[in-house]
């Protein structure tokens, strides 16, 4: 699968989860602790490059444990899970390494999706700015800053 085809297929899967992600963000904002300084969207591609990943929300500020415990119910924005019948949701998977870095493609595509979510439900609503980053410095144009208002 060519990189653009893969990213298009992956974006369709992410777009199918947009409404759920928007509900998560709507629940998150009223629960932001006063001491939080920034919302952080972390993209965690699997290290093997097979195509699984998670998008997790965290907060930055003093006493990270307390801050993130306050939003525990709203930390998972998207997660690919291995089950008895394969992966859920059904993202495109790789059994062989393609000619491009799968982790970069995942990070870039997920970051674009997060930005679209932010435009719909974060900008002008969130009292805090946000940062989008990928684990292990994956992605070709990350981190990205997202303004609050």
Read off the pLDDT of residues 97-139 as tens digits, 9 standing for 90 and up. 789 999 999 999 999 999 999 999 999 899 999 999 999 999 9
Crossing angle of the two packed helices 102-121 and 3-16, in degrees rounded to 10: 40
pLDDT of residue 19: 98
pLDDT value at 96 more than 80: no
The one-character DSSP state at 124 is T
Q: What are phi and psi of 69, to 5 degrees?
A: -65, -35
pTM, 2 dp? 0.94
13-56 pLDDT tens trace: 999 999 999 999 999 999 999 999 999 999 999 987 788 999 99
Average pLDDT over residues 84-94: 87
Query: Is residue 43 within 8 Å of residue 53, measured between CB atoms?
Result: yes
The pLDDT value recorded for residue 141 is 96
């Amino acid at each position: 699968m060519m990189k653009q085809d893969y990213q298009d297929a992956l974006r369709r899967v992410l777009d199918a989860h947009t409404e759920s992600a928007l509900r998560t963000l709507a629940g998150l904002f009223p629960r932001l602790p006063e001491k939080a300084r920034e919302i952080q969207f972390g993209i965690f591609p699997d290290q093997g490059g097979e195509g699984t990943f998670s998008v997790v929300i965290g907060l930055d500020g003093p006493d990270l444990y307390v801050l993130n415990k306050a939003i525990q119910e709203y930390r998972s924005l998207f997660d690919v899970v291995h089950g008895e019948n394969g992966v859920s949701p059904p993202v495109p998977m790789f059994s062989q390494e393609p000619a491009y870095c799968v982790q970069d493609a995942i990070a870039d595509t997920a970051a674009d999706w997060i930005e679209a979510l932010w435009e719909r439900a974060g900008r002008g609503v969130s009292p805090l700015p946000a940062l989008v980053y990928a684990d292990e410095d994956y992605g070709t144009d990350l981190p990205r800053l997202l303004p609050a208002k």
